[in-house]
Amino acid sequence: MKKINYGKILDDKIQELKTSGHKPSLLLHACCAPCSSHTLTVLYNYFDIILYFFNPNISHEEEYLYRCGELKRLVSEMNMNINIIEESYDPAPFYELARGLENLPERGERCRKCISFRLEKTAEKAKSIGADMFTTTLTISPHKDCQFINQCGGEISKIYGIEYLYSDFKKHDGYKHSVELSKKYNLYRQDYCGCVYSKLTKNNISAAADGGDKI
């Protein structure tokens, strides 16, 4: 199937907003501070952003709170006027959706369900607070399936009746920029995606190899 250029779709949307002067409210699901850094620089001038930290996949609570704390610190140090909605830590729904899929590799069915769940909750929250649109920082990761994330967002958008902002935040050297911003703000860059299964995989790999980041 032909790949869709979601980076171009985002560029066109931003151009449209620049021309109209309209600034919609956007609930932006944030997985962590490093992925949010570049994403915020792209969106900040064109959307009224509210960040949404909802990541029941993260293991364990200490890690969850630390990633959320880094997100708050980043927003504060970037001097951005952005509220953050932080959900309390409850991994039960993640373990429920991951049952039977524990041993699958990343980008498999467990990840699709994990991403779909977080997007659906973001749409639900966006609807409940009256936001115009929703999206996620997840498309900045070279480890994630950008086509799937956007298709999923589009489908959820129809179900909830709220516009999804298509994106590929890797475009325009987005991932590289996020690494630079992480250095600039001395952000914690985790070396596993988030769940205990990705942590176990990372531990097995790093026992044999590099230990580089896995954002």
Binding residues for ligand SF4, total number by CB under 6 A: 11
Give the one residue of 111, 133, 179, 215 binding ligand SF4; rule: CB under 6 A: 111
**CB of residue 144 to ligand SF4, shortest distance in Å:** 7
**CB of residue 68 to ligand SF4, shortest distance in Å:** 15
Q: Is 25 helix (H, G, I), strand (E, B) or coil?
A: strand
Query: What is the C-alpha to C-alpha distance for residues 97 and 90, in angstroms, rounded to an integer?
Result: 13
**CB of residue 87 to ligand SF4, shortest distance in Å:** 15
Give the one residue of 110, 121, 125, 177 binding ligand SF4; rule: CB under 6 A: 110
Query: What is the C-alpha to C-alpha distance for residues 153 and 135, in angstroms, rounded to an integer?
Result: 7
**Could you report how far apart the first and last alpha carbons of the chain are, in Å?**
26
* Token reading at 111: 């990840």
Residues 6+ apart with CB under 8 A from 95: none
**CB of residue 165 to ligand SF4, shortest distance in Å:** 20
Is residue 136 a contact residue for ligand SF4 (CB under 6 A)? no
- Which of positions 191-210 make contact with ligand SF4 (CB under 6 A)? 193-195, 197-198
Is residue 140 a contact residue for ligand SF4 (CB under 6 A)? no
**DSSP states of 150-200 as a string?**
HHHHHHHHHHHT-EE----TTTTTHHHHHHHHHHHTT----SS-SSHHHHH
Is residue 156 a contact residue for ligand SF4 (CB under 6 A)? no
Omega within 30 of 0 (cis) for the link into 60:
yes
Give the one residue of 70, 106, 145, 163 binding ligand SF4; rule: CB under 6 A: 106
Is residue 74 a contact residue for ligand SF4 (CB under 6 A)? no
Applying CB under 6 A, which residues contact ligand SF4? 57, 106, 110-111, 114-115, 193-195, 197-198
